[in-house]
Structure formats: C-alpha cells, structure tokens
Structure 1
Amino acid sequence: MIVEGQKVKVKWHSNNRKHFEKYGYIFTFVRDEFEVNIDELNKGSKIEIKCSCDVCNTIFFRIAKLAFKYKKHFCSVGCKTLNMKKHPNNPSTKVLHPCENCGEQTLFSKHRHDKLLYGETKNLFCSRKCQSVWKSEHSKGENNPNYNSVYKSCNSCNKDYTVPFHRKDTANYCSEKCKREGSRKRVEVKCGTCEKSFLTTPSQIKKSKSGLLFCSNSCVGLYNGIIRDKKIEKTCLICQGTYKVKRSEFEKSVTCSSSCQNVWQSQYLIGVKANNYNHNIPLEKRIVECKMCKKECKISPYKIKELENGKEKFCSKICFQKWYAEDWSQREEWKEESRIRAVKMLEDGVFNHTDTGCQVIVNEILNLLNIKFVNEYGVKYYSIDNYIPDHNLAIEVMGTFWHADPRKYKEINYQRQLDRIKSDKAKNSFLNNNQNINILYLWEQDILSNPLLIEKLIIEYINLSGNLTNFHSFNYYLNKSDELKLNGNNIIPYQDYNIEDMRNVINILTEKRDKTQYDKWISFNCEHCGKEKVQLISKYNNSKTHCCSYECSYQLRKSNN
C-alpha cells in the first residue's frame, strides 16, 4: 500500500502548471522546486513515492504512475508469488493436484488439468526442477524415445547416420547443409574468370546478363576490373576523330575533348534546346543593356529576377570588372561598408596575424595586473588593439617600422608608413571626439627592452582615468627607485605633426625591390611543345608530367593513351 501523509518535491514546467494551479499553488519560475501532497500529483507522474509491501511490510520506492494504478504493492517478485499462492486472483480457474515428482498439492490452471483427464498430458509438475528430476529417472533405457534408433544413408553425401525410430520414413538427409544441397537442382558450369568448375542453380544462370558465372567474389572483382578498364572506340561529332571511352560512358559521350564539347554545346544546346530554357519568358525580356558599355546583351531566364531586384547586368566579365573598379568601388557607400566590414573581420578573429610578439607581451602584463580587456575591439570604422571596458580606455601597440618610430626613422621613406600614420591620426581624432577616449601608445622598442616601464605606465594610465601628460611610452623612463618619470625633451610622433612639418620628412622611395626567392624556383622545357617554363620546385616535384599549360598537359595525356 502507499504510505500516507507523504510530501514530494516537484519542479515547475509548462506541462504541470495548470494542474497545480487548480490546487491553489502559485507559479514562480520554470524549474523551481516546491512541495506537494502525493494525492495532488498527476496520475501519469514519474516521481518516486514510498510504498509498503503487502506481504513483508518493507518500505520501498515506486513510480507514482504505477503506485496509483495498482491496489497492491510488492517489493519483489518473490513477495508477489507468495501473495498469488495465498490469494489466487480467480480460484474457480485453479485446480489442486499433486506434483508427479514430489507429491506436493499445487494449484494448476483448469485447462492443464483437463488435458491430464483427457489423456493429452501424462504428468503435471509443480516446477521445472521436479520435471527435470522425474525425466532423468523415468527416461532411461527403453523408456527413452530415442532408444530404438535406425541407421539410414544420406541422399546427398551418402554417409550413414542414425535417426529416431519415429523418423525412419521421413528423414532423408544427415544435416541441414545436405538438406539444402539435396533439395536444390545443381548444374555444373565454368567460372568466367578462372574457368574453374563449380555447381550452381538454373535460376542463377537465367539472372546473369552477360551469360557468365563466377565461383567467388574475387573472380567477380577481377572480371569487373577488366571490363571497366576496357575502352571502346567512338567517333567525335565535332572533329570526326576517333577516341576511346569507357563502356559506362559510351552512350552519353559525344565529343573527344573539352574544346569539342564547348563547340557542341554552342551548336546544339542553345535557345529552346538549352537545358535551363524557360518557355514562359519571351526573348524580348531577356535582352538588356550592359551597364558599362551600353551594348545590348542576352541574359539567362533565371537572371531576370536579379534584374527586377535592382542588380546590374553586364555583357562580359571584363565590363563587370571595369565597372567595379571605376564606378562602384569609388562610391562613398562602398568605402564605408568596406571599412566596417574590415573592422568586423578583425573583431571576429578572421585575420590571425594581429597577435604579434609585442601584443602577446602586453596581453600578459594586463593579465598579471588582473585587468579585463578585449583584443581588436571594433568601434565603427576602427579597431582597438586593447580595449579596457571597465574604465573605457584604449591601448595601441605601435610597431617600429609600420608606425615609423621617430627614434629610428628620421624620414618617412615608405608609402606603407605614410598610410599607417594617416590612419593613426584619424583613429585618434575619432575616438577622442566620439568616444572621449585618450589612447595610450606603447612602442615596440619599449615593450621589448623595458616591460616594467610598460607595466608602471599602464597602472598610471588607469589610476588617472586616461588623463596623462603624454600618451607615448618613449617619453617616459624609470629612475633608480623604479618610479615613473616624464622625459625633459619630449619626442613628437609623426601622427602629431602638422601638414608643413610632414612635408619636410616625407621622402618616399620609388625603387621596387625584387622579392623573388630564386632558390625556390626551377626552369624546365614543356614535355609536349618544348616551351621554356618557370615553376616552384615544390610544385615541380609533385607533378608526374611537366607542361607549360593545361592544354599541353591534356594533349600529352591524350597522346599517351
């Protein structure tokens, strides 16, 4: 029986909310626990509740669904069996009869007892143990049904074997294997690959499309390999030349090469015969004006929807590239989208070259100081190397070459440096005016040579909420007591120069350096046309044939076949 007065813990969820609200419970949050009486549980609840065994009174847990379903509860199968013996469900269907082996009075079902009365069954036993003991004593010698065995000859393998007396007229085979072989008609044939003789059925001969049969899967594989590699000659519809194709491609193949295939498609798969031709769209709608050269051109039916959505159309790839370079890429909207897209890619970590050695050192210093930061934090058009969100401050790591450290570069000799200086100046102005952030600049030479200076400068920068006297690390030094001090003669970075001063230090070198690594290249003559070609050694070593173009490579393979 179910133990009365129980309370169980239940969690709120969408399935039981209405049920428990009927009993006056107030819903709080999903998965919140609350206590209920077991009488208030759902009939199909799977929560375990306490039950008392009706035979031995042992307390055990049972799923509420089953506890509510049955009136009586038992802790084990043994207790259930004892209860059934004492209180049978329907006494009228049970009959008392002694066990044939031990003589104990046992309840048997009425239909089994009737079989005993009518002679259909000779004995009744209270258990399998009694049945096995009785059989071991009374099935010996002549009482064994297999005592009088008969010798017979197998109809398949002609071996002698014994069978029980009652099977002397029906048994014909010594085993299941012989029975299968004897019941099937066999015909002797030769293997299509190794010509070995073996037996098979007439149905297998009818199923064979080629008229050949094989003794094993290995012979089937060998035959398929020969047929697969065997090629058939066919005439090209364009150049009328003969070429070889595989059997599987014989019906579909019409041309000998990709160039002939292009000619064939241009002649036969055009207009109404085209694979993607849409008969519902007239030809007039497919003729449009090229956006670049203003010539009329024909477009595919599926591109009409793109035209309706405002997409520009061009007569060739050259016109599209020219329009993209001269018109679209010069628009302000494209430039703004590109800048925002580049910042987003930096923020998402698409470019993996941003974590330089200096950047790693600065990250480690910030981690040691327990300062939370975000690398490559995007602010509309610009990306910040280290953004400190708790203080709304920004740190930029400045490379000696890329940002033109004035201690090393007295002039700006490279266009890359000039472009980066302009970008640094624009970023500083944007963050100052729009985000009210003064950027701290940590230079490569100071990071590598004096990390303690960098650590002290970062602490001072945060303590003063970004209001430093100077924001460049090369204008600070540490005294003998390791105290942070400002230099007397401050160095001005190029990004703080005015236009006149910048013109005096710009001296862009126009000579281009040859960056080719000649030790990694090799020159060779094409194996088909003999033309000289230069190629990377790694690619040369990985190639079986060495040609100057794809066309020569194709012609060489064609001649070898």
Structure 2
Amino acid sequence: MVKTMMQVNCHICNKPKFIEPYRMRNTKRFFCSRKCQFYWQTTEEYKALHTKNKKTIAIEVQCSYCQSSFYKNPNSLGKKNNFCNVTCRNRYMSEFSDKYNPNPSQPRITTSCLQCKYPLALVSSLFTKNKHGNFCCKECYFSWRSTNLIGKANAQYKRTSVPCDNCQKLISLPDYKLKNNQHNFCCKHCYWIFRGKHYIGQNSYWFNRKRPDISEQSRTNILKMYKTGTLNRVSIIQKEINTLLERLGIEYEIEKTFGYYSVDHFLTEYNLIIETMGDYWHANPNKYRIEDLNKIQLKDIHRDKRKQTYIKKNHNVDVLYLWENEITYNLILCEFLIQKYILNKGGLKDYHSFNYWVEVNSLHLKKNIVKPLWIH
C-alpha cells in the first residue's frame, strides 16, 4: 500500500518537503531541517508568539571544532565545548584527548592473584575493594575460598559446641537446631541408647495411647489394588506360568487374597496355590547363603515364612513353589510338577521345584533335599 504524501514548503528557506496529510491538521509551520527550525526560534516572529508562555529561545553558538555557527537550546549548552554534530565531537576528542576526556585513564597498581600468583594490574578502586585479596578469575576465587573460608572463618558460621546427651562428646550444631531440639546427639547410635534408657514405660509417647490403624488400612488397600490390577506387579516368570496353565487348560486366579497376603496363582477348581519365586528376591538356597543376604532379601524371606504359616494354619493348603531357575531353563519340570501337585490333591514329598529332576518324561525327587532359607 502506497502512502499519500503532501508537498509543503519550508517556512525559512522555502525548500519543498513531503509530509503525511495528518500533520496538516495542527501544524502551521514546516521546516526542512533542525537548522531552519533553530534559526526561526531566533526571529522576532517566534519571540512574539512565545513571550506569553515564556518558552526558551535558541541562541547562536560556535562549534568548538569547525568554528561554524549553529543554533542551540540554552539549556543544553556545554560548560566548555559545543559541537554542531557528532562527527565534530569525535574528531575533537581524538585530536585533543588530553584536554577533553570525560573518562581519563587511572594509574594502576601491580599485584598478583592470591591463588595462582598470576600478575595483575588493577586500578586503586578495585585494589582496595577486595577484602581478602585479588584473583584473576572466579575459578581461582572459589578454589581459594573452599580451603580458607570454611568453618569459623566463614562469615555465615553460626554454630555452638554442646555435649552429646548420651556420651558427652562435644558436637557443633547450628543455632536453629539448638532452639528446636530438647536433646542433642552425636550419632543415631547414641540417640537409640538414650531413648532406650529414658523413653520407656510412662515416659514413652505411646503410654496409655492407642496406635492408629494406618498400617492395617494401608495393607488392605494395597491388596485391593493388586487384585483389581491397579498395581501391576506381574513378573516375567509369572507370565510364563500363566501361559503354561492356559496351555494345560487349568483355570486360575492371579493375586488371590488370603487375609493380609496375596498369592501368585490360585487354582480355582482344586483349591490349590502356586507361587513363582525369583532367585534374588526370595534368596534361592542354591545361589545364596543366609549370612550373605542383604536387608531386602532378609525382609522378603521373613515375609515368605509368615505367608506360608498363615495359609497352612488358616486355609490348610500346602503351597507349591516354582523357582526362577526351573521356570527359565526347565519348564517341562514345572509342567510335570504342577500335574502331580493337582493329581495328588496338593500332597507332595517336597514343594520346591529345585528338589526335582526329570528323566525320560518322568519326575524324580532328589536324594539331597535343599530347604529354603526361611526354614533355617
């Protein structure tokens, strides 16, 4: 879109100029340049128009470099020099830098980096500003600070030495911990020893108080989520047994709940239970010793023992345990063992798959019976 322009003449030199039409509404005089505008401000016409408003009138001054005359507002006059344009100003500064330099160079002080001893030349303001010393870079500063401004040397250090309430060893604690703590301890071991001595009987928090049933409700909710499938914890070996049971035409239910426990496979027609056991999580006795188990494995085998005892005592069912090694490398053994488990209505000489072997499509029990670690 092409803009519509109108031609007007300069009020001073009568030079033609093109402007937008909207500028014709309120403007009576037009100027081709600032030079003509400043010249008009020196005329009697301008003085007569602005006498009532007492506005500033431009005056004629001389350029400090090229000596040419130009008009300038009195409020913007320089104290020593005035220039008609930027070019004259820059040329004057380059030729007379000694006389006219708003930022003259300051003398520098020779020093060195406090960390790496690199030579430095600093102005006096920077030299006196640094409290601890001068550094060539941030890396040197932080490296020096990490070894020198630590502990009590740090400005933000606010700690108090108090004795441990159990062993009387002096420990340094921040002020906010001293305000909130009734007792102070150097380690958890001292805390539990002190608690065992003083927070028992009537001094115990739970004395004559009923504990909330939070753990009971939490356990019930988790079992419901396992049963509905909200929490899906089906392992690879459990999927293998699912496929095997489907191939054998045996109906089953996964994550069937018995009180506080859930089982991997519940054979609905025979009222029997099959558990798939991971070698690591349930500590296969052929791979692990009881003294080598970590906290997670010990916790799992204690749970296995409780589950086996609960199901046998309350539901009179002997659980068949199929272990990861046999499921992965000898699935035919698991098939024969499941068929024998159902045929004998849950009665077996041993209920762990690692105590059996297959020969000529026949299932045999090993002579040396290995017991799971939760029986030890």
Please give the TM-score of this superposition, normalised by the length of structure 1.
Answer: 0.29
Pick 1 or 2: higher relative contact order, CA cutoff 8 A, min separation 6: 2
